[in-house]
Amino acid sequence: EQTRQQLRTIEWYVDCGDHDFLLQKNKDFVAEMKKANIPLTVKYRPGKHSWQYWHSGLYIMLPFITKCMK
């Protein structure tokens, strides 16, 4: 339980493309986090595991990171 409590102190963010080869692993991770009542922000967007996808995600992720660092 101590580990779960520690994980709840972190701002978790998952961003995965709907055609990413890691999509199911990300969905499994999100399900386990929710089962453990560990809050997280999840974004599934059109795309695959590519630089183009991650470049487009920077505009979404940077405000989240900035908020977390305040």
pLDDT per residue over 5-30, tens digit each? 999 999 999 999 999 999 999 999 99
* Other residues' Cβ atoms within 10 Å of the Cβ of residue 1: 6
pLDDT in the model for residue 46: 97
Question: Does 52 have pLDDT greater than 80?
Answer: yes
pLDDT in the model for residue 21: 97
Contacts of 28 (CB under 8 A, 6+ apart): none
41 pairs with which residues across the strands? 13
Determine the 3-state secondary structure of 47 from DSSP: coil
Share of the chain above pLDDT 70, in %: 100
Question: Does 70 have pLDDT greater than 80?
Answer: no
